[in-house]
Amino acid sequence: MADATDNPQTSKKPLLTDINTLRERARAHLRDGAVTQGYRGDREKVISLLNEALATEIVCTLRYRYHYYMASGINAKSIAAEFLEHANEEQAHSDLLAKRITQLGGKPNFNPEGLTTRSHAEYVEGDSLVEMIEENLVAERIAIDSYREAVQYIGDDDPTSRRVLEDILAQEEEHAEDLGTMLEDLGRKGEPSEVALKAAKKR
Ligand SMILES: [Fe+2]
Ligand SMILES: [Fe+2]
């Protein structure tokens, strides 16, 4: 059973981590399970995997909701509406995961303590509208990668959990596409990312 004590994510991290590190961290837990054949289809392992996804969804809900309230500027109205829609969809994902965890006889972990450590995606506020969109896009891309790997990990061992994860994955891909379109509408596609520039400055 995974908890904060055996998780490498507990070490102190800077607020902004580059995408490769974030992705590597997101994969670390899954890789542990995949190398040991005996863990395949293990109920406890699936529950722990679903709980990590649940933590990710809660963090994403909170981040989108924060962005909904903080979005301001010329293009803010439609973007804020989109943030709210995503927040509500991430909340719905949390519910699907929690339901599946209980079906498997596990306990959905809603404990606020250690939430950001359990989550694959980070809670980053962002200073501008563009930065908010970019941070959400980073988080969605992490979610897409970890859901895809979770689906592959589960394989045919647990078709119901797999279907839940696949449905969520499809919606995360829609979210990422929406955010890409928002950047395009703001004329920011192809320009250096504010998030990357900020991270580079901190280094
Ligand atoms: Fe989600
Ligand atoms: Fe999403």
| pLDDT tens, residue by residue, 92-125 | 999 999 999 998 889 999 999 999 999 999 999 9
What is the Å distance from ligand 2's center to 176 Cα?
Answer: 7
Contact 12, 191 (CB under 8 A): no
Average pLDDT, integer, range 4-12:
49
Nearest ligand, CA of residue 147?
1
Question: According to CATH, what is the number of the domain 41-202?
Answer: 1.20.1260.10
Residue 126 phi/psi, 5-degree rounding, is 80, 140
What is the band of 197 on the pLDDT scale with cuts at 50, 70, 90? confident
CA 80 – CA 86 distance, rounded (Å): 10
What is the Å distance from ligand 1's center to 94 Cα?
Answer: 7
What is the Å distance from ligand 1's center to 12 Cα?
Answer: 25
pLDDT value of residue 116: 93
What is the residue extent of each domain of the chain?
41-202
What is the Å distance from ligand 2's center to 38 Cα?
Answer: 32
What is the Å distance from ligand 1's center to 57 Cα?
Answer: 5
pTM tops 0.85, yes or no:
no
Q: What is the mean pLDDT of the chain?
A: 83
Q: In 3D, which of 152, 27, 158, 147 has the Cα closest to residue 93?
A: 147
Question: Would you state the torsion angle of the CA atoms of residues 135, 137, 140, 141, taken in this order, to the nearest 10 degrees?
Answer: -110
Q: Give the burial string for 107-138 (b: 16+ CB within 10 Å, else e).
A: ebbeeeebbbebbbbbbbebeebbbbbbbbbb
Nearest ligand, CA of residue 138?
2
The residues whose Cβ lies within 5 A of ligand 2, an ion, are: 140, 172, 175
What is the Å distance from ligand 1's center to 80 Cα?
Answer: 17
pLDDT of residue 30 exceeding 90, the answer is no
| DSSP symbols for the chain | ---GGG-GGGS---S---HHHHHHHHHHHHHHHHH-GGGTT-HHHHHHHHHHHHHHHHHHHHHHHHHHHH--STTHHHHHHHHHHHHHHHHHHHHHHHHHHHHTT------STTHHHH-SS-----SSHHHHHHHHHHHHHHHHHHHHHHHHHHTTS-HHHHHHHHHHHHHHHHHHHHHHHHHHHTT-TTSPPHHHHHHHHH-
What is the Å distance from ligand 1's center to 201 Cα?
Answer: 30
| pLDDT tens, residue by residue, 143-169 | 999 999 999 999 988 888 999 999 999
What is the band of 177 on the pLDDT scale with cuts at 50, 70, 90? very high
